[in-house]
């Protein structure tokens, strides 16, 4: 199968935009990226790229997809009250069927907003994995381990390990797996040590929550004399590749530790704002050499799985936090939002760049809307002005998932109807 995307603008690795290129996809990889008119046929399919910008697609590096079930449900509360009063009681009632359908719902929203890969941690993960297999995205999936007592350690680890073994490399390699102790405050040190050991053995990354609230940091310091980052380092948790969601309250020393261990921090600005956790020190982390990516967190707190929103918000909040309009440039916000920084998800530099030989993931974004005119600087417009509906086409691993707004792998009407029906139980 050879596909030509004809005459499209292409966003390069540094955010620079080259107009009028022909991009050829063969199988699941880009075969060539050449000036318009130079691509060698024949082609099985031609996609018109004029007036479009081809970008590598967004990566949502931290979410809980099936929490679409919680969208608009919970009150806006501080994190611990939000979890204890609004989330955990409802999660006790969750079924595998809920997770299947609300994962599919989230996948529809992600495709529509140009997300091509994501990292997800939740329960009934085989349901999410099957939904990903069907939808066609890439995902790093993990079962969320909660082990505050010794008796929970073995059963939780077994569950997490079984899922990780079974699904790693599935769906033509589009699914990777991780181990996910939920957070320092929900898992005993012994769990952390064992989980890290298992991750090393299975060659898997760890995906967890770190330093989301000031309260979490203060408690950890009071109990152990260490910050959550120091505590995790002390347990050897960072000896395997780690995705650390949030990192809102990290010290200069924490930043150095995260950088030294090449931890990937996942900034989740909407969720951190809505629960009033704070603004993560993204500029400081970047300066210290930490790899920072973006996530929506679950749609229960963010309200949305649209990573373009997080990209815009990350640029705006980064400037506010530093009191410097040049703190987070559109180029940096874009790099945080895309696969370029998302090596930790499991595909290294095979993804994130539109170049011959790389895996063919990408999105075509329309530039015609009034809100994108005059178009002096397509990247700036993409960060500050573009809206979800500008994402017209999405492909992953060489396969079209959305073509000019038409979903090709998922039945949106059936999924939304089913989710409305299932949600009746939770009203």
Is 380 a binder of a second copy (CB under 8 A)?
A: yes
> How many CB atoms within 10 Å of residue 242?
23
Binder among 82, 122, 231, 347 for a second copy (CB under 8 A): 82
Question: Could you tell me the two tokens for 86?
Answer: 């609004």
Binder among 172, 252, 324, 411 for a second copy (CB under 8 A): 324
**Contact stretch for a second copy (CB under 8 A) within 28-36, 258-266, 335-343, 419-427:** 419-427
**Contact stretch for a second copy (CB under 8 A) within 23-31, 32-40, 226-234, 417-425:** 417-425
CA neighbor of 271 nearest in space, from 70, 56, 58: 70
- Partnered with residue 341 across adjacent β-strands are none
Is 313 a binder of a second copy (CB under 8 A)?
A: yes
SS3 338: strand
Measured from the CB atom, the residue of 50 and 76 that comes closer to a second copy is: 76
Binder among 1, 96, 260, 389 for a second copy (CB under 8 A): 389
Measured from the CB atom, the residue of 313 and 400 that comes closer to a second copy is: 313
Binder among 34, 77, 146, 170 for a second copy (CB under 8 A): 77
- Closest separation in Å from C-beta 371 to a second copy: 5
Interactions with a second copy, residue window 250-279 (CB under 8 A): 270, 273-276, 278-279
Binder among 34, 36, 48, 73 for a second copy (CB under 8 A): 73
Q: Nearest 5°: CA angle at 206, between 110 and 259? A: 95
Is 200 a binder of a second copy (CB under 8 A)?
A: no
Q: How far apart are CA 49 and CA 257, in angstroms?
A: 44
Is 136 a binder of a second copy (CB under 8 A)?
A: no
Is 95 a binder of a second copy (CB under 8 A)?
A: no
Measured from the CB atom, the residue of 247 and 383 that comes closer to a second copy is: 383
Q: How far apart are CA 394 and CA 415, in angstroms?
A: 19
Those residues with Cβ within 8 angstroms of residue 239's Cβ, 6 or more apart along the chain or in another chain: 196, 200, 261
Those residues with Cβ within 8 angstroms of residue 359's Cβ, 6 or more apart along the chain or in another chain: 28, 29, 30, 347, 350, 351, 397, 398
Using the CB atoms, write b or e for 67-78: b if 16+ within 10 Å.
bbbbbeebeebe
Measured from the CB atom, the residue of 170 and 387 that comes closer to a second copy is: 387
DSSP track, 355-396 = STTSB--EEEEE--SGGG-S-S-HHHHHHHT--GGGEEEEEE
> CA distances (Å), 142 to each of 3, 121, 127, 216, in order?
33, 5, 12, 23
**Contact stretch for a second copy (CB under 8 A) within 26-34, 147-155, 190-198, 418-426:** 418-426
Is 60 a binder of a second copy (CB under 8 A)?
A: no
Is 322 a binder of a second copy (CB under 8 A)?
A: yes
Is 296 a binder of a second copy (CB under 8 A)?
A: no
Measured from the CB atom, the residue of 149 and 376 that comes closer to a second copy is: 376
Q: How far apart are CA 120 and CA 128, in angstroms?
A: 9
Is 72 a binder of a second copy (CB under 8 A)?
A: yes
Please tell me the number of Cα atoms within 13 Å of 413 on its side-chain side: 1
- Closest separation in Å from C-beta 96 to a second copy: 18
41 burial type by CB count under 10 A (0-12 exposed, 13-18 middle, 19+ buried): exposed
Is 348 a binder of a second copy (CB under 8 A)?
A: no
Measured from the CB atom, the residue of 215 and 350 that comes closer to a second copy is: 215
Measured from the CB atom, the residue of 23 and 294 that comes closer to a second copy is: 294
Largest CA distance in the chain: 67
Is 76 a binder of a second copy (CB under 8 A)?
A: yes
Is 41 a binder of a second copy (CB under 8 A)?
A: no
- Closest separation in Å from C-beta 175 to a second copy: 22
Q: How far apart are CA 256 and CA 282, in angstroms?
A: 13
Measured from the CB atom, the residue of 196 and 270 that comes closer to a second copy is: 270
Instruction: Count residues binding a second copy (CB under 8 A).
Output: 71
């Amino acid at each position: 199968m050879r596909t030509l995307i004809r005459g499209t603008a292409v966003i390069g690795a540094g955010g620079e935009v080259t107009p009028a290129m022909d991009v050829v996809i063969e199988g699941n990889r880009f075969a060539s990226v050449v000036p318009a008119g130079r691509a060698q046929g024949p082609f099985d399919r031609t996609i018109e790229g004029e007036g479009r910008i081809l970008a590598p697609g967004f990566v949502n590096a931290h979410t809980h997809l099936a929490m679409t079930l919680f969208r608009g449900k919970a009150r806006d509360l501080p994190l611990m009250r939000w979890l204890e009063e609004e989330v955990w009681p409802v999660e006790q009632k969750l079924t595998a069927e809920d997770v299947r359908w609300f994962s599919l719902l989230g996948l529809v929203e992600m495709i529509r907003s140009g997300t091509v890969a994501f990292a997800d941690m939740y329960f009934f993960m085989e349901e999410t994995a099957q939904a990903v297999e069907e939808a066609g995205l890439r995902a790093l999936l993990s079962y969320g381990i909660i082990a505050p007592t010794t008796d929970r350690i073995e059963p939780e680890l077994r569950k997490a390990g079984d899922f990780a073994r079974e699904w790693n490399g599935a769906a033509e390699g589009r699914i990777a797996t991780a181990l996910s102790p939920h957070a320092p405050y929900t898992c005993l040190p012994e769990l952390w040590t064992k989980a890290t050991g298992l991750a090393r053995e299975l060659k898997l990354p760890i995906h967890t929550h770190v330093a989301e609230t000031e309260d979490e940091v203060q408690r950890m310091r009071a109990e152990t004399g260490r910050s959550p980052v120091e505590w995790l380092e002390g347990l050897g948790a960072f000896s395997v590749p780690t995705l650390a969601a949030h990192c809102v309250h990290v010290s200069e020393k924490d930043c150095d530790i995260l950088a030294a261990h090449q931890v990937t921090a996942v900034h989740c600005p909407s969720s951190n704002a809505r629960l009033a956790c704070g603004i993560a020190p993204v500029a400081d982390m970047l300066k210290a050499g930490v790899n920072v990516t973006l996530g929506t967190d679950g749609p229960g707190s963010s309200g949305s799985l649209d990573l373009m929103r997080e990209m815009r918000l990350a640029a705006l909040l980064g400037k506010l936090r530093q009191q410097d309009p040049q703190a987070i440039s559109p180029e940096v916000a874009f790099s945080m939002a895309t696969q370029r920084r998302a090596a930790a998800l499991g595909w290294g530099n095979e993804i994130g760049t539109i170049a011959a030989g790389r895996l063919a993931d990408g999105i075509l974004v329309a530039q015609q809307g009034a809100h994108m005119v005059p178009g002096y600087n397509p990247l700036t417009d993409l960060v500050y002005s573009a809206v979800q509906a500008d994402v017209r086409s999405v492909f992953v691993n060489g396969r079209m998932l959305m073509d000019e707004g038409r979903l090709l792998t998922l039945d949106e009407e059936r999924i939304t109807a089913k989710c409305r029906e299932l949600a009746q139980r939770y009203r």
